Amino acid sequence: MERTLAIIKPDSVKKNVIGKIINRIEAEGFRIVEMRLVRLGRDEAGAFYTVHRNRGFFEDLVAFMSSGGAVVLLLERENAIAHWRAVMGATDPAKAAPGTLRREFGFSIERNAVHGSDARETAETEIGFFFK
Ligand code: ADP
Ligand code: MG
């Protein structure tokens, strides 16, 4: 069993699709170990995405991620990290495959509906960020 950190981003919360995304999480065989609705502050959003702090899109990303509620989930499944990335689809919804969450619910490369950890080490760090 492997664990990963998922976030239902503020664009999805505003669109009232938390339930649809959680349905998909359950249908894909994940166990929801922990889950919380949060409102990230700018500092928190910046700390979470610190790896991107020198990118041109960083300030916009921080503003977006702190613009409203978000749902953070600790998910467990076999091969959880790669499987959740596959269910999410590519970062840019326009390039995400049909049937992926980002293709279905994403609006732009920034407002792309969901987050998922990308590797074992980042999953551990990101889980620790929200769930002590
Ligand atoms: P992913 O979320 O697929 O792992 P990244 O780690 O590269 O993608 O980027 C983190 C988040 O930053 C993305 O999910 C998206 O919200 C935002 N982002 C990434 N690239 C861009 C970009 N070129 N312009 C605006 N926002 C971006
Ligand atoms: Mg990433």
Residue pLDDT, tens place only, 53-82: 999 999 999 999 999 999 999 999 999 999
Ligand 2 centroid, distance to 41 Cα (angstroms): 19
E strands present in the chain: 2-8, 31-39, 69-77, 114-116
pLDDT tens readout for residues 22-47: 999 999 999 999 999 999 999 999 99
Under the phi-then-psi rule, with left for phi > 0, alpha for psi from -120 to 50, and beta for the rest, what region is 113?
left
- Identify the band that residue 132 occupies on the pLDDT scale cut at 50, 70 and 90: confident
Instruction: Single out the catalytic residue among 103, 115, 116, 126.
Output: 115
β-partners of residue 38 are 70
CATH superfamily of 2-130: Nucleoside diphosphate kinase-like domain (3.30.70.141)
Quote the ligand 1 centre to 16 CA distance (angstroms). Answer: 22
Q: How many CB atoms lie within 10 A of CB 96?
A: 20
Residue 112, pLDDT score: 98
